[in-house]
Structure 1
C-alpha cells in the first residue's frame, strides 16, 4: 500500500449505534430536547442582552440560514416575556387647546378599554341628558323669570319714552327699522298743511323737541340692547348651570373611578367645559324644509366625536410583556399611520383614526424583526433608528414629508418608547450594516452569533437524538431506530464537512427526518431504520442532481474531455465544486500547461481573459514564488508558462487548483507525463506546502462517479491535502472500493509527495553541490530551465554581435 494512501476507516467517521447510541433503542426511549442545541455562545449572549435594561442594548441575532436562530429568538424572548408585567394601555384624546395635536395618555393595563367604553357611553348619553335638563320645571320657571324681568325693564324704557313724548306734544310711531316722533294737535297727529302754517319760531321749537326725543330714543335703544345682552348672559349662565348640574352625576362617577389618574381628571374638566359651551349641538334640531340633497354636501360632524377615546394600544389581555413578531416590517406596519375619510374630492381625518404599528404594540416588551425584510423598505430602517435613538414613536404618514405643497394634517403627540428590538439576519447583512452604519453599532450593542456546527461529543450526540425525538413526537412521525439515528449523525457530520463536528443547520436535518419517516411509512414499517435514511438521502439527491448528471453525461460522451486513464505531459485533472439551488457537487476539470523560452513568467489565460477571480489569480501568482525559490537561485528564471482550464466557459475562482496547476507546469518543464487516472485538489504556498481546501468530500465523490461509470481499474484515485482527511464523510460505496483496492485516496503535505504519486518518479532533493539527483523530476526541470536561460543568454542584439566582432 502506498505510504500516502489513506486507510478506509479514516475516510468516514462511522457512528456505531451500539457503542455511541447505547442510551436508547429508539427515539421513544429518548427525552425530547427543549431549547437550542450546540449554541452555547449564542445562549450566553442572548441572556446577557435580555438582562440589560440600558438603552442601546438592543440585540442583533446573526447566523446562517437554517441554524434555528429565528425559532430560538422567538422562544427565548417569549419565555422571558411571560415573567414580565403587562405594560400600560395607551390612548389618544382630543386636544381642546390644539385640535391638530392629539394628546396621548397612558393607563394601567386593561383600564384603557374601560375608559374608552365609559367615554363612549357618556358621549352617547349627552343628547338625552341635556334634553332632559331643559325639560325641568325649575329651569322653565327661572327662564320665565329672566324673560319677565327683561320684558318689564324694556316696557319701562318704552313707557318712559312715550311719557316724555306726550309731555313734549309728540306721539311715537314704529316705522321700520326704528321709531319716529310726530307732533300732535288736539290729540291727533299734526297734518302737514297745518305744520306749514306754523311760524318759523314754532317750527324751530317743534324741531328742537323732536331732536331731544330722538336722542332720548337712541339712548333708550342702547339701554334696551344692554338689557337684552344681560338677559342673554343670564339665560346662558342659567343654561350652563342647568347643563353642569345635569352632567354632575356622570362626571362624578368618572372622577371617582379615575381619581388616581391626573391625566384623565384634567381631560374630564376640559370635556365638561366644552360640553357646557357647546351644549346646543346636542339639542334636537328644528325641522328643515324639504330640499334636494346635494351630492357634494359635507356630512355634519358628530358633536360627540371630541369626547371619544382612541384606544391606541390595549394590553389588558397580555399575560406578560408583549412580544411582537412583525413578518412584514414596512414603514406603516411598524410605525402606524393616519387614516383618512374620503368624501368626493376632500379627505379628512381626526384623532380617532390614528392607527398603531408594531413598534407601539411592542412597547414595554420585545419586537422581533428580520433585518433583510426591514431593509427592503426605504424609510423603515432610518425611522426605526430615530425611534430608538430618541425613545419616541411618532405616528405620521411618510408621504406628508415629501409633498411639494404642505397640507394640513394631524401631528399626534409621540409615544414614549421602552422596548427591546431583536433583529435577525445572516452574517452578510450584519457585516454590511456594521461597516456602513455607525448608528447600528450604538443601538444594537449585543451580537448573538449562531454557529453552523458543534463538536461531535457524546453529550451533543444525546442532544441530537433528543432533537429527533422531539420532532417525531411533535409532528407524529414514526420513531427512529438506532441504525437510523446513526445515519442521521453521520449525515450531520457530512453537512458540517468535518468528522469531528455535527451540523447545527437543523432545518436540513429536519427535512431528512421528515422524508425518512415518510419512506418508512410508505413501506409499511413501524420504525424508521438506517435504510430509510439512506434512501431519503438518495431520493433528495435524485431530485436535485440534474445539472450534475448532465455534466457527467457530457464527460462520458467525451464532449467534455476528461481522461481517467493513460498519461499526459502538462495535463492534469483538477477538482472543483459547483453549486446550484442549494445543491453542491464535485466535478473534474482538465488543466493544461505549456512552457517555453521567454521572460513573461506564468501566464494565467483565465486572468488575461478576465475570467479569473482574485483568489484564483493570487493562487497562480504564488506559483512564481515557488518556481523562483526552487530553480532561480543562481540565474534568472527564463520561462514563459501558460496555464488554463480547458473547456471552461465561465469564471474560475478559488485557489484549490493551484497545486494541480503547479504539477502541470512541472510536468511540462520536465517532460514527465502525469497519470490521468488521478485527480488533484489543494492549494499550495510559495514554499511548496500543501494547504487545505473546502468541499473535499464532494470533489472526491464527483471524480469517483466518473471513474465508476467508465470502470474502476485500481489505478484511479484522488490526491488531497493531508489536513482535509478529517473533513471526509465519503459514501459507503467509495469506502468499499478503497477496501477492494479499486480506488485510492492520497493525502500529501508537500508538492514533492504529490509529484511522486502523479509521475511515479521521485521529485528529487537538492544536494550539497546545489544540484538534484539524476533521473528525478526536479533534475529534469532544472536542466530544462538551464536550456531556456542559455537560449536567452545567447540571443544577442545584432549591434552587440557587431561590436563583439570588432
Structure 2
C-alpha cells in the first residue's frame, strides 16, 4: 500500500557511447518515455534506410555528382594531354604505370628499348638524360596537381554526400530533439547520433546480398553491428508500473542482483555490445523496494559482497563476473557500462539465526539499520477472522478454487488457531492454510459438489496427517500389542504416564511414555537415570533438580532430607529434553514415597517449580491426542484423561474426535495449577495441608510422604550408629 502512494520511478536504458565504445552510456527518462525512445529510434533507422537510397538515386544528386566527376575527368584529361604534348616535343612518350607516369625516349617516333638506348653514343644518351630530368620535374608537378584536383573532387563529393545524408537525417533528428527537449542527456545523445550517421552512412547502404568472396554471414553481421549502434537497450521499463515497484528476487545470484552482459558467438568468436546488457533485480527495484531472502543471498557466490558494494556507493555497477574471481586476462575483457544511481530500499527477510549471523559483519550493521520482527500469530478478533475469509476468497479467485462455505471458513479459522496453538490467536502462516484449501478443493471436486464445506477441510487435514504418520501409527500399534509398555487402566505405585512430543519434518505427534520411580535410604538425593547415561538434555536435568528443591521446601524443614531416589523413562532409547515431564516425575516420586497407587488411566504433562506450581508447556494438543489414541487402541473406559497445566487451557485446539469424546464423557481433561491438585486426581487422596505444628493432615498423601521420609532418616541414622559402634569395637 505504501508503494502505491509513492511516485513511479524513471526508466533506464543504455545507448552506444560514440566517444568510448567500451563504456555504454546510461540514459534516465521519465516512466514510459524509455519505451517511446526505443520506438522513435527504431522508426528513425527505418526512415534512414528507406530514404537514403532515394536521395542517392535522385536526379539532383546524380546530376551534381556527375558534374563533379566530369569536371575532374575533363581537367585530368587536359593536364595529361598537355603533358603528353610537351613530352613528345622533347622526344619522349608517356606511359601510365601503377606508380604514376613513365617517360619512354623516342627515336624517329619509335620507343627505344633499353638495349637500343645503351647502343647510342654517350653524348646522345647524356642529352636524353638531361631532357628526361627536366620532364620528370614537370611530370611530378602535374601529378601533384592531379592529386590536389582529385582530393578537391573527393572533398566536394564528400560534402555532397554529407549534405544528402543531412537532408534525410537532419530533419528526422531535429524532430526527435524537439520531442525530447526537456531531457538534455537525450538531446546530447541524439546530436551524437546525427554526427555518427554522417560518418557511417555508407555501411547502411551495403548490398542486400552476401558478397561472393566474403565469409558466410560476415556481411550481414557487419550491417547488423552498424544498425545496433543506434538502438536503445531499455533495461528498466516502468511504463505500466503504478507507484513504486516491489521486487522479490527468488534467486539472488550476483548476476540476477547486479545485472550482467551477455555474449553471442559470431563466426566462432564470442562478442558483445551494449544491446546485450541485462538488468538485475536492483535495476528493476530502483526507486522502490527489493525483497530478498537472507539465506539465499549468503548461498550465492559474490552476491552479498556485490550487494554491499552497491549500497555503499549508491550505484549499480555491472561488472564482469570473471573480474570478481580474479580471472582478469583469462576471460576476454567486455564492456564497462556506466553506473546507475541506486535509490531503493533493500529488505532482507530471514530467520532470527540468520540475522545474528549477518550481525557478525560490521558492514551489515552499517548498511541495515532498521530491524523488524514479524509475529507468527495475530489476535483472533472478528476483524482478523474476516481477514482470513478475505484471504480464502482471494485464493479461490486467483487459483480458480471452488467457493468455501461458512462451515469451511470456520474450519480454516479453527485450523489457524491450531497452528498458533492458542484459542485467542490465529497463525499468519498463510502458506500452510493455502495448502489445506487446495487439498480441500480437490476432495470437494472428487465428490462433484459446488462448494467446499467443513467436511472437505477436515478430510484435507486428516489426509495430510495420514500421508506422514506412518511412524506414529507404528508406535500406537506397539502400544496396543503391549510391546511398548503403557497402562491405561488400573493403578500402580510409583508409576505414571508421561507425555512426549516427536517432530518428523512437517508432522508433530504426541505419545505416552512410562515414568517410574524407586526410593531407598541414602543421601544421594534424586538421581535422573537419563542424565547419568547422558540421554538427558540440560533442560530436562534442570527439571529433575527442581524436584529436589520441592522436596526440601515441603518436607525438609524439620529434618534432613535423607533420600536415594531414581527416576527413569522406561523404554526410552533417545535423548530426553525439556522439562514438560517434571510434574509427572514428581507425581511418581510422591506416589512411591507415600506408597499410594496412581491411576494409570490418566496421563500427565506440565513442568513444575520448586514451590509446586504447575507451569505451561508446549505441544499440549498433540500430547492429549497421542494419549487418546493409545487409550482408544487399548479400549476407552470413560475414566481416562490427561492432566494439563491450567495455564495451557487457552492452547487447547483439539481435533474433533477428541472434542466429541470429551463432550460425551468418554475422555477427560483436567487442568491443574498445583502439584496438590494433580496428586489428588491421580491417587484419589487429598494432598494434605501443613498444620500449625509442622505436620500434615493425617492419612493424606503428604502425611504419608513425610512419614516415609522420617522413617528413611531414622533408618539411615541407625545404620550410621551401628557403623560407628562397629568401628569402636
In structure 2, distance between residues paired with 1:92 and 1:627: 79
Distance in 2 (CA, whole Å) between partners of 1:339 and 1:190 is: 69
Q: Does residue 353 in structure 1 map to residue 353 in structure 2? A: no
State whether structure 2 residue 40 is matched by structure 1 residue 114: no
How far 1:689 sits from its partner (Å)? 2.9
> Could you state the TM-score of these two structures normalised by the residue count of structure 2?
0.81
Please give the alpha-carbon distance, in whole angstroms, between the structure 2 residues aligned to 1:539 and 1:155.
Answer: 102
SS in 1 for 2:372: strand
1:783 aligns with one of 686, 691, 711: 711
**1:316 pairs with 2:242:** no
Give the alignment of 1:394-543 within 5 angstroms: 394-396=317-319, 398=321, 401-402=324-325, 404=327, 405-422=330-347, 424-425=349-350, 433=358, 439=364, 442-443=367-368, 445=370, 447=372, 449-455=374-380, 477=403, 479-480=405-406, 493-505=417-429
CA distance in 2, matches of 1:118, 1:500: 61
Following TM superposition, by how much is the alpha carbon of 1:561 offset from its aligned partner in structure 2, in angstroms? 0.1
Helix, strand or coil: the match of 2:574?
coil
Q: Which residue of 2 aligns with 1:305?
A: 228
State the Cα distance separating 1:281 from its structure 2 match.
1.4
Partner SS, residue 501 of structure 2: strand
RMSD of aligned residue pairs (Cα, Å): 4.7
Matched, 1:171 2:92: yes
Please report how far the alpha carbon of residue 93 of structure 1 lies from its aligned counterpart in structure 2 after TM superposition.
0.9
Alignment match, 1:68: none
CA spacing shift, 1:343–1:155, aligned 2, 3 Å:
closer
- Quickly say closer, same or farther: Cα 1:500–1:275, change in 2 above 3 A: closer
Going from structure 1 to structure 2, the CA distance change for 1:142 and 1:472 (only over 3 Å counts) comes to: closer
Find the residue that maps to 1:300 and give its secondary structure: helix
- Report the counterpart of residue 702 of structure 1 in structure 2: 626
> 123-132 vs 346-355, which deviates more?
123-132
Please give the alpha-carbon distance, in whole angstroms, between the structure 2 residues aligned to 1:194 and 1:337. Answer: 75
| Ranges in structure 2 where 5+ consecutive residues have no aligned partner | none
Aligned with 2:42: secondary structure?
Answer: helix
Describe the shift of the 1:309–1:736 C-alpha distance in structure 2 as closer, same or farther (beyond 3 A).
closer
Q: What is the Cα deviation at residue 107 of structure 1? A: 2.3
Shift of 1:454: 0.9
| Residue 481 (structure 2) aligns with | 557
User: Who is 1:232 aligned against?
Assistant: 154
- After TM superposition, the structure 1 = structure 2 runs for residues 35-46 of structure 1, keeping only pairs within 5 Å, are none
Q: CA deviation at 1:345?
A: 3.1
CA positional deviation for 1:591? 1.6
Distance 1:509 1:289 in 2: 66
Structure 1: 5+ residue stretches without partners: 1-75
Give the Cα separation in 2 of the matches to 1:188 and 1:126.
Answer: 58
Contact 2:614–2:672 (CA under 8 A) maintained in structure 1: yes
Do the aligned residues in 2 keep the contact of 1:763 with 1:778 (CA within 8 Å)? Answer: no
Q: Deviations over 1:687-733 (max 9, x none)?
A: 43322112223323332343344445565443322322343345677
The reply on whether 1:277 has 2:199 as its aligned counterpart is yes
Give the conservation status (yes or no) of the 8 Å contact 2:402–2:451: no
Tell me how far 1:583 sits from its aligned partner: 4.0
Measure, in 2, the Cα distance between the counterparts of 1:679 and 1:794: 44
Query: Which residue of structure 2 lines up, in the alignment, with residue 662 of structure 1?
Result: 586
Determine helix, strand or coil for the equivalent of 2:406.
coil
The counterpart of 2:265, out of the listed 337, 342, 346, is 342
Q: What do residues 28-52 of structure 1 show as CA deviations (whole Å, max 9, x unaligned)?
A: xxxxxxxxxxxxxxxxxxxxxxxxx
Does structure 1 conserve the Cα–Cα contact (< 8 Å) formed by 2:260 and 2:279? yes
How far is 1:612 from its partner?
Answer: 3.1
| CA distance 1:296–1:779, change in 2 (3 Å) | farther
Conservation of the 8 A alpha-carbon contact between 1:638 and 1:792: no
CA positional deviation for 1:354: 2.1
1:684/1:140 CA distance change after superposition, 3 Å = same
Task: Name the counterpart of 1:650.
Answer: 574
Higher relative contact order (CA 8 A, sep 6+): 1
Q: Which position in structure 1 is the counterpart of 2:181?
A: 259
Aligned to 2:578, the other structure's residue is in SS state: coil
Aligned residue in 1 for 2:12? 90
Change (3 A) 1:555 1:120: same
The alpha-carbon distance between structure 1 residues 707 and 398, as it changes in their structure 2 partners (threshold 3 A), is same
Distance 1:599 1:119, change over 3 A: same
Q: 2: CA distance between counterparts of 1:524 and 1:427?
A: 45
Distance across 2 between alignment mates of 1:493 and 1:440: 36
Could you say what secondary structure the match of 1:648 adopts?
coil
Q: Is the 8 A contact 2:420 2:426 kept in 1?
A: yes
Partner of 1:364: 287
Task: Measure, in 2, the Cα distance between the counterparts of 1:517 and 1:272.
Answer: 63
- Contact in 1 for aligned 2:95/2:104 (Cα 8 Å): no
Q: Which moved more, 1:545-554 or 1:515-524?
A: 515-524
1:554 Cα deviation after fit:
1.4
- Deviation at 1:431? 5.8
Query: C-alpha deviations, 1:294-332, integer Å up to 9, x for none?
Result: 699994342222112223233333454444455555554
Aligned residues: 718
Shift of 1:496: 3.8
Conserved 8 A contact 2:476-2:633: no
The equivalent position to 2:614 in structure 1, one of 684, 687, 690, is: 690
Q: Is the 8 A contact 2:403 2:450 kept in 1?
A: no
Deviation of the 1:778 alpha carbon: 2.9
In 1: Cα distance, 2:405 partner to 2:157 partner = 88
* Alignment partner, residue 606 of structure 1: 530
Q: Distance in 1 between matches of 2:325 and 2:621?
A: 56
Describe the superposition over 1:124-168 as per-residue Cα deviations: whole angstroms up to 9, x where unpaired.
Answer: 34344333333344444544554455556656765776677678x
CA distance in 2, matches of 1:349, 1:304: 14
In structure 2, the CA distance between the partners of 1:187 and 1:609, relative to structure 1 (3 Å rule), is: same
**Residue 589 (structure 1) shift:** 0.8
**Shift in Å, 1:495:** 4.4
CA distance in 2, matches of 1:462, 1:299: 62
Question: What is aligned with 1:615?
Answer: 539
1-structure distance, mates of 2:424, 2:112: 133
Query: Offset at 1:378?
Result: 4.1
Q: Distance in 1 between matches of 2:363 and 2:208?
A: 66
- Residues 669 and 358 (structure 1), Cα distance of their counterparts in 2 relative to 1, 3 Å cut: same
Deviation string for 1:154-190 (max 9, x for gaps)?
56765776677678x5525437445455667777778
Shift in alpha-carbon separation, 1:679–1:787, aligned structure 2, 3 A: farther
Is the Cα–Cα contact under 8 Å of residues 405 and 453 in structure 2 kept in the other structure?
A: no
* Deviation string, structure 1 residues 448-499 (Cα, Å, up to 9, x no partner): 62441414x5666676677778888995536436xx8777666655444334
* Contact in 2 for aligned 1:479/1:526 (Cα 8 Å): no
Q: Counterpart of 1:304 in 2: which secondary structure? A: helix
